[in-house]
Structure 1
């Protein structure tokens, strides 16, 4: 009989929520393990690129919690993203607002996932990025990993390599939204780190990269205008490890991605995972969890403290598809001729469309 799983709660600092979307859950071999914690989401500026990428888990993500999720080597897990905590329906986009971009997953081997800070080397085990659509006039009409997330009810199936050593890991799920990435610092990173323990592994030693170090704000896959005809997309970061999985953007959902019956909606407190019957299982108690924070961050190479807000220059205009408003925004609010400032994710983000 399936063991029951108890959700671990964490005390997170109260921050202004920046909307958009959060990774909320983890599935293991088709079973909804509710392996998650409530995730606050924040928009950072100026030094955000360094803060966001330094640990791979970001700011509060540096602080672990007490428990881990057990994942057999060679198994398939699925990270699950939705626009609001607790909203796990398929009727709502996993990530809306035309936030098109790649979905990537990394692992880092650590001594203890509950105390690790993500400063160890990372290797990529999954990517679902971009593919062209015949006749598309701009890249926004092409296939993207985030569109697949929406199509597959917020789920993305990820293979855990069968040959990696047993032990503790941080699993980092990442979306890079490129809807305003045509301007420097426009790319937005959404990420969460799950604390997992891999069992039944091998002895492989995948090459790793450090975060920061793997990305630059000027990388062609991070600084890119997707509102033009695209013939290629340069995926940020290292290549996927040979034991991982590359999903072709636009491919049909499969496996756990097609499952529409989930466990109970997560509300930020504790919960017990359910069996396939929808009733709490009995048996040995096993505790599972996700490592703290999902965040939205804006890429930046600056390492200085956040700059003081200033007013937009008088008479300036924002180009079509550029940001033109939102909470804390200080840039141009008037759109160039032929476009109108429209709230994409009110009140946090508006764009010239």
Structure 2
């Protein structure tokens, strides 16, 4: 009899950090859960997975820690799709929560067309597709609105995104520690919670995408320490409103089609770079389990069992902090069941050949909120509903690579995008030093204490302050 080794012990390295912080873990497309961790670039170390980025010059500002590396799979969507991003404090979802309520601030979503997901995500080509800051009508920050929806933020993709590979970058900025000294240097900096999702979009055109120069940006470099929205006292906003959201105003390209063509519904892509393989029996984040070889004798049976355990080992080793639920199912219901059949001298198999489990995290019963109205949602010049004047000063971004031409079918028209007047962004001229990564870590410790003091002061004074 051959022995098998259960790999559940590897789960200990995945224990999520319990803190007041947050990380993007899951993406929904048109309310359909794509699976925890699937297509999402997140830190592999559970102890820092939800920790903020402080250094604005760091490459961690691009897609977060470990965000320069692609993951195996991408998320399929069509231009105009509803995209929902789930943020968690406990990365594996073992407890509810988005972020500590003291960590108020703006939220933005950026996009970048890439030739493939191996392309370096840094540098130019980024544009913002959605943002929200402080809503004076509801007296709520964007962070509070997402706390109210249990950590779920829903937006719509622009309808004019050409077919191809994209990175969607979420940026949550926590402002609770921001204070300044008389010399203009920060005492405590904003906290940036940044992640990227790999998305393959089926659009109505093949590109390239032209982005107005004032809306195309580089990351790092899209925000600066002197930005007014990053030097904002959230505890005393009198005379400081309206709040100016850091970064460029959103750019939402729309389809130039008209008439019946504009109403054509796009088909979700199925064959594209980064697609989950058709023969995937079980998915955990960006890992797939595949059927083991057929066998007709004892040696073949144990060889297939070894194949299964080798796949299981890779599942546990590659699992991000969002969880190992699928790995455990594969280990018990596939590998252990196969080993048991070999022990029972059932040497023709494998048993339950081709059984599919899919991704158990996709089956969660989450109440997905509707699209959240953002601020300054202005569109490109072809959109006659835009509040923005036509701007022909554009920079051309190369089209993302396409692997397959997909068929479109006639259906309902795309949903219109609500626009509001844009707010001009101004910056102060005072130079502010950007901390090194080591200094940033020290700042987190120091500012953690400041955070507690500010929260206590906020609690004491909340009933003393007049409404803003």
TM-score with structure 1 length normalisation?
Answer: 0.63
1:180-195 equivalent positions in 2, closer than 5 A:
180-183=177-180, 184=186, 185-195=188-198
Deviation at 1:309, TM superposition (A): 9.0
Deviations 1:100-121 (A, max 9, x none): 1111100001111244333341
Q: Does 1:108 align with 2:109?
A: no
Q: Does 1:302 align with 2:434?
A: yes
In 2, Cα distance between equivalents of 1:243 and 1:85: 33
Change in Cα spacing, 1:337 to 1:155, as seen in structure 2 (3 Å) is: closer
Deviations 1:22-75 (A, max 9, x none): 111100011011152564133555xx2211565x21342111122211111111
Change in Cα spacing, 1:275 to 1:133, as seen in structure 2 (3 Å) is: closer
1:12-51 equivalent positions in 2, closer than 5 A:
17=17, 19=19, 20-34=21-35, 36=37, 39=43, 40-43=49-52, 48-51=55-58
1:190-201 equivalent positions in 2, closer than 5 A:
190-201=193-204
Larger Rg, first or second structure (1 or 2): 2
Q: Residue 316 of structure 1 aligns with which residue?
A: none
In 2, Cα distance between equivalents of 1:105 and 1:165: 18
- Larger helix fraction of residues: 2
Q: Residue 269 of structure 1 aligns with which residue?
A: 324
In 1, Cα distance between equivalents of 2:451 and 2:117: 47
RMSD over aligned Cα, in angstroms? Answer: 4.0
Q: Does 1:151 align with 2:148?
A: yes
In 2, Cα distance between equivalents of 1:144 and 1:26: 22
1:103/1:146 contact within 8 Å kept: yes
In 2, Cα distance between equivalents of 1:215 and 1:117: 17
1:144-223 equivalent positions in 2, closer than 5 A:
144-183=141-180, 184=186, 185-202=188-205, 203=207, 204-207=209-212, 208-223=216-231
Deviation at 1:86, TM superposition (A): 2.2
In 1, Cα distance between equivalents of 2:451 and 2:224: 30
In 2, Cα distance between equivalents of 1:338 and 1:68: 39
Q: Tell me which moved more, 13-22 or 160-169.
A: 13-22
2:143/2:172 contact within 8 Å kept: yes
Q: Does 1:94 align with 2:98?
A: yes
1:314-329 equivalent positions in 2, closer than 5 A:
328-329=445-446
* SS of aligned partner of 1:329: helix
Deviation at 1:199, TM superposition (A): 1.0
In 1, Cα distance between equivalents of 2:57 and 2:108: 19
Change in Cα spacing, 1:239 to 1:32, as seen in structure 2 (3 Å) is: same
Deviation at 1:268, TM superposition (A): 2.5
Deviation at 1:193, TM superposition (A): 0.4
In 2, Cα distance between equivalents of 1:125 and 1:197: 16
- Tell me: higher relative CO, structure 1 or 2? Use CA pairs within 8 A at least 6 residues apart: 1
Deviations 1:134-186 (A, max 9, x none): 8xxxxxxx211111111112111111111111111111011001111233252
1:123/1:209 contact within 8 Å kept: yes
Change in Cα spacing, 1:115 to 1:121, as seen in structure 2 (3 Å) is: closer
Q: Residue 257 of structure 1 aligns with which residue?
A: none
Deviation at 1:129, TM superposition (A): 1.5
1:187/1:222 contact within 8 Å kept: yes
* SS of aligned partner of 2:145: helix
Deviations 1:300-345 (A, max 9, x none): 84365634999xxxxxxxxxxxx9xxx7338987999996799xxx
TM-score with structure 2 length normalisation?
Answer: 0.49
2:177/2:451 contact within 8 Å kept: no
2:30/2:83 contact within 8 Å kept: yes
In 2, Cα distance between equivalents of 1:338 and 1:195: 36
Paired residue total: 265
* SS of aligned partner of 2:193: strand
1:15/1:42 contact within 8 Å kept: no
* SS of aligned partner of 2:105: coil
Q: Residue 80 of structure 1 aligns with which residue?
A: 86
| Structure 2 runs not aligned, ≥5 long | 1-12, 44-48, 181-185, 255-283, 286-320, 327-357, 366-431, 460-468
- Larger strand fraction of residues: 1
Deviations 1:271-292 (A, max 9, x none): 343599769xxxxxxxxxxxxx
